[in-house]
Chain A
């Protein structure tokens, strides 16, 4: 906000310290969706800077505080569900699918490079570009809508149906994650050859066990990182005997 504040108060720079004080308070929201807050606060600040009559200053300041508080909570809620909860895992799955279709089977622990490096970069670049295209678009449109729209339309937030977008993104995510599990199983059986292969069956049973453990861990609100650490500990202990 600093360049904007400097521009607004270029004729009254002595007011900048008191203005800055408001902006130095703790502000916690989602980094992408924060653009809506920036746009709306820029508009509010413009009103405060232009309308200097004492009655209006007080009223505008209160509105600025309200806008900041309410918007930061709303945008954080949308941003966390849309970007961290949906788009980030979706773009990860996109990269994983591209890897598999380009014959990079990341399910195998002894992964060897048989395909050209360009294939790997295609997968990564796709994930990176898709996430950032959406994020930069929302950042850009957020500042613009936040500045132009009024409070009655939530500073442009209701121009998009966020809940519907999150709903469909999550539905697609479930389908893709299920498909990825099946593809993993398909590549596993393809690599192990004809059954009965007892080594492969033991490995397969372990994988099913870990899938169930991971599911159970989430039900118990335990992060899956701990499942991995427990697995290392468990196998380590077994290996000692």
Chain B
């Protein structure tokens, strides 16, 4: 039961991640939407909601302005919910999810750099045959889908292996440490909102 659920979770998370930039752009990739949607697969809706809210609050001050690539909210929710589904306590899973979101943004930046090298070639082909434009867009979406799916799967596998190794060695007090930090997230997040709403100029 576990593997098909995780596979579906990765596929669904990849579709949601594409919503960030490449397709739809209907804010399905927001933490608060993606978390509960993904939890439909893991079966713990309330965990999905909490992870979604916390992710969005925590990432609320990093916006995609200019060349900034924010940490992936979908990545954070997917990794957290997958690890929680496999038995990792939610505060620990959330910490690993945040790290995965960071790692995903870094990896995505590298993927974009690689794709930049292909763009010149694609543009050349389009100029020669403008009809190829739809096929190029479709292929581009497909490669984005494949790379995102691969990255999400990789993070979940790595997270699972790490938890399997780490959790038996973690003392009880450390779990409490993760829980205390987890508890602080909404307070940190709402203070951030307060700050980001500040009016610099009228």
Interface residues of A (CB under 8 A from B): 2, 13, 16-17, 20-21, 24, 28, 31, 80, 84-86, 88-89, 92-93, 95-96, 99, 104, 106-107, 109, 111-113, 117, 120-121, 124, 127-128, 131-132, 135, 163, 167, 170-171, 173-174, 177-178, 180-181, 184, 203, 206-207, 210-211, 213-215, 218, 223-225, 227-229, 231-232, 235-236, 238-240
Residues of B within 8 A of A (CB-CB), count: 66
A98 to chain B, nearest CB (A): 11
Q: Which residues of A contact B123 (CB under 8 A)?
A: 24
User: Could you say which residues of chain B place their CB within 8 Å of the CB of A28?
Assistant: 66
Q: Decide: A225 near B130, CB < 8 A? Known: A132-B27, A239-B173.
A: no
Closest to A80 in B: B65
Q: Which residues of A contact B114 (CB under 8 A)?
A: none
Given contacts A236-B177, A240-B173, contact A214 B187 (CB under 8 A): yes
Residue from the set A99, A109, A132, A215 with the largest chain B CB neighbour count within 10 Å: A109
Contact with A along B163-202 (1 / 0, CB 8 A): 0000000010110111111111111111111111111001
Give Cα distance in the complex from A131 to B198, angstroms.
20
**A92 adjacent to B36 (CB under 8 Å):** no
CB-CB under 8 A for A95 and B32, given A84-B64, A228-B58:
yes
B202 near A167 with CB under 8 A, answer yes
Contacts of A227 in B (CB 8 A): 184, 188
Q: Which of B61, B71, B183, B197 has the most CB of A within 10 A?
A: B197
- State which of B62, B174, B181, B190 has its C-beta within 8 Å of the C-beta of A228: B181
CB-based nearest B residue for A32: B25
A210 in contact with B196 (CB, 8 Å): no
A17 and B183 within 8 A (CB): no
With the chains together, A174 CA to B112 CA distance in Å? Answer: 37
Find out whether the CB atom of A128 lies under 8 angstroms from the CB atom of B33.
yes
Enumerate chain A residues within 8 angstroms of B199, measured Cβ to Cβ.
167, 170-171, 174
A-B contact pairs, 24 of them (CB 8 A): A2-B133, A17-B127, A17-B128, A21-B127, A80-B63, A88-B27, A92-B57, A93-B193, A106-B54, A107-B186, A111-B50, A117-B45, A128-B27, A170-B199, A211-B188, A225-B98, A228-B181, A228-B184, A228-B185, A231-B181, A231-B188, A232-B178, A236-B178, A240-B173
Task: Check B60 against A218 for contact (C-beta < 8 Å).
Answer: no
| Contact indicator B95/A232 (Cβ below 8 Å) | yes
Is A106 within 8 A of B33, CB to CB? Answer: no
Chain B residues near A240 (CB, 8 Å)? 171, 173-174
Whether the pair B177, A173 counts as a contact (CB closer than 8 A) is no
Can you name the residue of chain B whose Cβ is closest to the Cβ of A169?
Answer: B197
Closest to B129 in A: A17
CB neighbours of B133 from chain A (8 A):
2, 20
